[in-house]
Amino acid sequence: MKKLKLGLYSLTVIALCLLAACKKKTETPAATQNDQTGTTEADAGMSDVSDYINNKIGGGANARVAAYQLPCGVVTVDSTTTGGVTTYNMQYGLKTPCGYKYKSGQITFALQSGIAFNQVGAVIAITFINYSVLSEATNTSVTLNGTIYDKNITGGYLWQTVIDSDTIKHQLRGKLEITYANNSMRAVNYFQLRTWASTGGWAGLSFSVAGDTIITAGSTYTNVLQTGYTYADNYYYITNVPTPFLWSNCGGTYAGPYVLQKADAIMYIPNVNISPANIEIQGGYDWNYTTIASTPTLTQNCYSNAYKMTLNIGATTQTSYQLY
């Protein structure tokens, strides 16, 4: 029971970047590595690719930057063309600090289907090759290998969301092998639907991430976002998302801030002799943490700043709150 409890608590919440569409918040170093460590760095790497496609290849004339600059940590981008397919290679140099992190290895990307990145149905293969991120704060690194396939469901570049009020949808599928500092390796499978939309310019911009498949493992799980094995104790887990993660711009410019207003994820551990065995994480709570006796309130608006976490193990239920 104790080990399972610790393993579940380490599955706090999946950090999902807003890719090139939104400005990222300043990151805070984690004290130790956990299940979130690898997926966070995967999202950051995919954000670099999206940034390059939408601003460099896609001519992102979105009034955001006067001239495109390579993502932090990228020292070169070269390309090779074989059989009419161009593969772009982002090489990271380990010398330039990105906040408190140093990046090395490479990420390649190439069209697998379609003739342009903005075409309806175009599929991009994003491949991590010994992509390693070293945390200066903890002196630990995490290394990613594997391929994520990004399908442009609606067509268009992301900057068209802001300029033309288009809704852009991408479907993600793939598998990454995550190697942690203790040399343990964990596989993570992606089943995501990502949506960018705007009700008008930067001020109306929103970004959502939904689970996008059904998995049967004893029971049937719908709206599944991710499967894999926990960093602690190597438990198989399934994460479904009854309510998609939704970030909205709570400012009037590109700078945001972008606030997670809605989220509901349930992480199940199906292959244990305890029922139930899951943790539910709900976003959108407003917590006045300066007052000890305050009770967080579900607001789902620009004042939201906390998750509610409910741990269910057998007859035991525990509830706690965590700031974003």
Domain around 73: 2-275
Distance separating alpha carbons of residues 301 and 261, to the nearest angstrom: 5
Shortest CA distance to 74 belongs to which of 26, 109, 115, 40?
109
Query: Residue 252 falls within a domain, yes or no?
Result: yes
What's the one-letter identity of residue 193? Answer: L
Q: Mean pLDDT over residues 57-67, rounded?
A: 62
pLDDT at 18: 30
pLDDT tens for residues 189-233? 999 999 999 999 999 999 999 999 999 988 999 999 999 998 888
Q: Select the more confidently predicted residue: 188 or 36.
A: 188
Residue 276 confidence class, pLDDT cut points 50, 70, 90: very high
- Evaluate whether 198 touches 165 at the Cβ level (below 8 Å): yes
pLDDT at 232: 85
pLDDT tens for residues 132-171? 999 988 889 999 999 999 999 999 999 899 888 999 999 9
Which are the contacts of 167, defined by CB distance < 8 A and separation ≥ 6? 154, 161, 195, 196, 197
pLDDT at 63: 45
Query: Residue 303 falls within a domain, yes or no?
Result: no
Query: Residue 139 falls within a domain, yes or no?
Result: yes
pLDDT at 226: 96
Distance separating alpha carbons of residues 283 and 264, to the nearest angstrom: 6
The phi and psi torsions of 39 (rounded to 5 degrees) equal -70, -30
Q: Where are the beta strands (DSSP E) in the chain?
A: 74-82, 85-93, 101-113, 123-135, 140-152, 168-179, 185-198, 205-211, 215-217, 219-221, 224-229, 236-249, 258-268, 277-286, 297-298, 306-313, 316-323
Shortest CA distance to 101 belongs to which of 45, 55, 147?
45
Q: Is the dihedral of CA 231, 234, 240, 243 positive or negative?
A: negative
Q: Select the more confidently predicted residue: 63 or 138.
A: 138
Angle at 26 between CA 22 and CA 30, to 5 degrees: 125
pTM, two decimals, is 0.86
The secondary structure of residue 70, as a DSSP letter, is: P
Query: Residue 306 falls within a domain, yes or no?
Result: no
pLDDT of 112 above 70? yes
pLDDT tens for residues 245-257? 999 999 988 889 9
pLDDT of 130 above 80? yes
**What radius of gyration, in Å, describes the C-alpha atoms of the chain?**
20
Place of tokens 């993600």: 172
User: How many separate domains does the chain show?
Assistant: 1
Cα→Cα distances 243→28, 76, 87, 264, Å: 26, 39, 36, 5
Q: Mean pLDDT over residues 111-127, rounded?
A: 96
pLDDT at 318: 96
Residue 56 confidence class, pLDDT cut points 50, 70, 90: confident
Residue 177 confidence class, pLDDT cut points 50, 70, 90: very high
The phi and psi torsions of 262 (rounded to 5 degrees) equal -135, 145
Query: Residue 81 falls within a domain, yes or no?
Result: yes
Q: Mean pLDDT over residues 264-277, rounded?
A: 92
pLDDT tens for residues 14-42? 323 333 333 344 455 555 777 778 898 99
Distance separating alpha carbons of residues 24 and 45, to the nearest angstrom: 13
Shortest CA distance to 188 belongs to which of 127, 150, 149, 144?
144
Query: Residue 264 falls within a domain, yes or no?
Result: yes
pLDDT at 66: 54
Above pLDDT 70, what percent of the chain?
Answer: 88
Query: Residue 291 falls within a domain, yes or no?
Result: no
Query: Residue 133 falls within a domain, yes or no?
Result: yes
Distance separating alpha carbons of residues 111 and 82, to the nearest angstrom: 12
pLDDT of 89 above 90? yes
Reported as half-sphere exposure (CB side, CA atoms, 13 A), residue 257 has a value of 10
